Amino acid sequence: MNLLTTLLAFAIAIGVLVVFHELGHYTVARLCGVKVLRFSVGFGAPLLKWTMGRDRTEWTICALPLGGYVRMLDERDETQIVAPEDRARAFNQKSVYKRFAIVAAGPVANFLLAIALYASLNLAGVTEPVARIAPPAPGTLAARAGLSGGELITGVRKNGRNPDEANADETAVRSWEDLRWRLVDPMIEGQRVTLVARTRDGRAEYTLDAAGQHFDADGEQDFMQRLGLVPSARVKVGQIMAGGAAGLAGLRVGDEITAVDGSPVTSAKGFVDAVRAHPAKPMTLTVRREGSVRSVTLTPAVEIDPAVDGGVRVGKIGAALASQVDSVTVRYGLFEAIGRGAQRTWEVTTFSVRMFGKMIAGQASLKNLSGPVTIADYAGRSARLGLDYFIAFLALVSISLGVLNLLPIPVLDGGYLLYYAVEAITGRAVSERWQGALQRVGIVCILALSAVALFNDLSKLLH
């Protein structure tokens, strides 16, 4: 069932993104007076085919759904016979500016789609974890900043690379996803940020300094985890084992454990660590049950942990835990939803471009590149999580498709845009001889990128 969901979600995602990309080319081509011969979703043998419109444009859905194309009337295409009355409607007869607009329209359509998708999520409202921090792992930036767990992050203020650089503008944080996007750019750029938090004692500030640190999204560990930032969770008893210390002490399924010996519990891992550290030693738990708070004293049993060389005595209470993260529904009005959709699209786009530049410069891992296997995997995962997750996934991949197509690599839209930019500046078109040579270079580049992406996909799959 999971495989079927993954394949179906992948097919829908690719279909939607390709159709919007090619509709961008098609729409602007028609507006510029170019005759469109074929609109194809996919490559290879046609599965469905029909003709529409005054120009009898052929619309096809093909067997290999990894892309698509719009075929326009063009005198340079030796397979086409251009009638004299249609000559003015050929792509090559249009001005360089119209050709530029037609080619750029595909990636632009992907960015517009992302804005619309993000805006729809902002308008409908998205339920996300609140930005409350669990105790950070020792040695992480969060731990060094002084965060101890339980802090609710309400804002982020950028400080630049040096202590003297400061930006007084504080950006509000409404959810965990908000916090992630406020941190990813400055952390990867090696900058300093100040987290504004609400704590039990009032307002507090914590500085994360990424100077000299190396962060990139290599896919092996969540970016926020590497910073030491993990959402705080309420810890509940999910199951009681017969004869265990938990059952003997009177714990029940559904009990929420809020503290151990007076110290707040903000994550299942923190509670497990506390239990393991108390073999045969009494512990006092603060438990919330059906709206009332009570104390439960128990003594963990002793168990030898074989995972540690020579074995070590650890505590065990005979209970399974369940974590529940507090969430908030983030919703905006129409115009603010559109504005934030555009802002998020811009943030993701600029971040993607910078990451690609860092990969070329050797400053970021090539593991950031993902291929169709990873995309299909995330399509399936997001679809199983719910419609809002799938829409957010579509927006992200739509931006990635737009950025990829704008890379100045021959055979991609960005390569043709480079040709037309040269033509606009010099007044002369790039010769077909040069275009042919550059096309071959472009194909090699695309094959190399595809090989790296596929290798990364297979490595993650095997891992």
**Active site residues per annotation:** 22
Residue 220: how many CA atoms within 13 Å on its side-chain side?
10
Q: Which tokens belong to 202?
A: 């009032």
Cα–Cα separations (whole angstroms), residue 65 to 20, 41, 52, 315: 14, 7, 21, 54
| 111 in Cβ contact with 345 (< 8 Å) | yes
Cα separation, 299 vs 283, in Å, equals 6
Instruction: Report in angstroms the alpha-carbon separations of 232 from 255, 265, 327, 407.
Output: 17, 9, 11, 40
Q: What is the DSSP letter of 194?
A: E
Q: Where do runs of H (alpha helix) occur along 32-168?
A: 96-124, 141-145
Count Cβ atoms within 10 A of the Cβ of residue 419 and give its class: 0-12 exposed, 13-18 middle, 19 or more buried: buried
Alpha helices (runs of H) in 361-431, residue ranges in sequence order: 372-385, 387-406, 413-426
Q: For residue 86, with 0-12 CB atoms within 10 Å meaning exposed, 13-18 middle and 19 or more buried, which class applies?
A: middle
Q: What is the rounded CA–CA span in Å between residue 421 and residue 408?
A: 11
Token pair in block for residue 237: 């008893």
